């Protein structure tokens, strides 16, 4: 997978974040190969800066990244080509490092995609992609690779590899950084029911022209969403367990891959596996299923089961604990066991557990 620059002269400069040493290269392939092949060290990220526009005759493929992170700084320049396969490919990237592409243009005038993201954490910031941006199913499904679109940039079309060209992308929020959203050429927000075609990535401040927060409560989704960008309130600014941006009175913190804040256990409950629910207020519950290896941390609070059935643990192991110095209390019953012997278990840890 060579990549040949049809022009002459130095095309890129490579530099460590914490080292004044620089090295120039005559082809983009050499520069990218060098930057991604170095071992991680205390010198920090490696920046690969484009010095001029580059035309490729063969695909540029990033297949490894051993550095802490690699930044491809396009610096206002364009990587272009006329290929019948993907012009720029990130595929089978080893490790957990990030390749950050920023501030320029990637353009393929041929029938292939301009950018193919297959495997590995990749971010795009202020990058204009002319031609398809193709994401494989593996890339989209893996929570380690997204979000990808972290602000700025226009895109001819963003699609999954297996998608029919006429179908919408689907859950576009999964590939966007928090607070970002897609708009069409008229500046209108693009919904998940629309194709990501000729779109621009915008960053939302969640405020109107008067400086007031634009969050509104969605009863069906049981949380606050921005009326401008459609994103959920991150509840980042909290005081006494009240969100200062939207006014949510936080009663519970739910953790797995990310941390989310909810009004109550009932509003946070999900059938997803291995969730941890930490109470921050006394509360009542009507939830009946405590399955799928969940953890309930009473955290010094009182948790009361109201009328309407008894919670059951019929599958997996549920842990009930109290990590706070103050006693925590559950008031109610729990039925443990399923249809077969050994189904469902309740674990109450002996250490650090003031129940």
Q: What is the pLDDT of residue 94?
A: 61
Average pLDDT of the residues in 97-114: 94
Question: Which residues does 93 contact at the CB level (< 8 Å), separation at least 6?
Answer: 62, 63, 64, 65, 99, 119, 120, 121, 122
From the list 99, 103, 175, 116, the residue with the least C-alpha distance to 141 is 175
Q: How far apart (Å, rounded) are the C-alpha atoms in residues 102 and 100?
A: 6
pLDDT > 80? residue 264: yes
pLDDT > 70? residue 168: no
Are 105 and 78 in contact by the 8 Å Cβ rule? The answer is yes
pLDDT > 50? residue 3: no
Q: Is 59 exposed, middle or buried (0-12, 13-18, 19+ CB in 10 A)?
A: buried
Q: How far apart (Å, rounded) are the C-alpha atoms in residues 139 and 160?
A: 9
Q: Specify the pTM.
A: 0.78
pLDDT > 50? residue 224: yes
Average pLDDT of the residues in 142-168: 80
Residue that the structure tokens 């089978």 belong to: 92
From the list 92, 28, 87, 25, the residue with the least C-alpha distance to 58 is 87
Average pLDDT of the residues in 202-225: 92
Q: How far apart (Å, rounded) are the C-alpha atoms in residues 110 and 57?
A: 11
Q: How far apart (Å, rounded) are the C-alpha atoms in residues 254 and 272?
A: 11
Residue 163: other Cβ atoms inside 10 A: 17
């Amino acid at each position: 997978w060579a990549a040949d620059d049809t022009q002459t002269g130095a095309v890129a400069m490579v530099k460590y974040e914490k080292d004044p040493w620089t090295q120039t290269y005559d082809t983009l392939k050499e520069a990218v190969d060098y930057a991604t092949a170095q071992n991680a060290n205390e010198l920090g990220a490696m920046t690969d800066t484009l010095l001029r526009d580059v035309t490729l005759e063969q695909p540029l493929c990033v297949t490894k990244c051993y550095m802490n992170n690699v930044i491809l700084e396009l610096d206002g320049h364009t990587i272009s080509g006329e290929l019948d396969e993907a012009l720029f490919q990130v595929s089978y990237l080893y490790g957990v490092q990030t390749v950050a592409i920023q501030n320029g243009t990637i353009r393929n005038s041929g029938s292939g995609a301009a950018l193919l993201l297959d495997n590995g954490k990749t971010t795009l910031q202020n990058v204009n992609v002319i031609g398809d941006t193709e994401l494989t199913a593996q890339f989209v499904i893996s929570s380690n690779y997204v979000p990808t679109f972290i602000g700025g940039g226009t895109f001819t079309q963003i699609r999954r590899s297996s998608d029919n060209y006429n179908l919408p992308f689907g859950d576009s929020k999964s590939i966007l950084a928090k607070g970002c959203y897609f708009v069409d050429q008229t500046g209108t927000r693009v919904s998940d029911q629309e194709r990501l075609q000729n779109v621009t990535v915008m960053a939302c401040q969640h405020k109107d022209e008067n400086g007031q927060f634009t969050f509104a409560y969605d009863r069906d989704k049981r949380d606050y969403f921005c009326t401008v960008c459609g994103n959920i309130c991150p509840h980042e600014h909290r005081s006494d367990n009240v969100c200062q941006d939207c006014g949510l009175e936080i009663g519970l913190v739910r953790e797995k891959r990310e941390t989310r804040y909810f009004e109550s256990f009932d509003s946070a409950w999900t059938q997803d596996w291995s969730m941890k629910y930490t109470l921050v207020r006394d509360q009542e519950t009507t939830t009946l299923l405590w399955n799928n290896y969940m953890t309930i941390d009473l955290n010094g609070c009182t948790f009361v089961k109201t009328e309407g059935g008894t919670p059951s643990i019929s599958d997996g192991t549920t842990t009930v604990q109290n990590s706070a110095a103050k006693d925590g209390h559950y008031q109610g019953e729990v039925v443990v066991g399923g249809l077969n012997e050994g189904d469902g278990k309740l674990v109450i840890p002996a250490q650090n557990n003031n129940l």
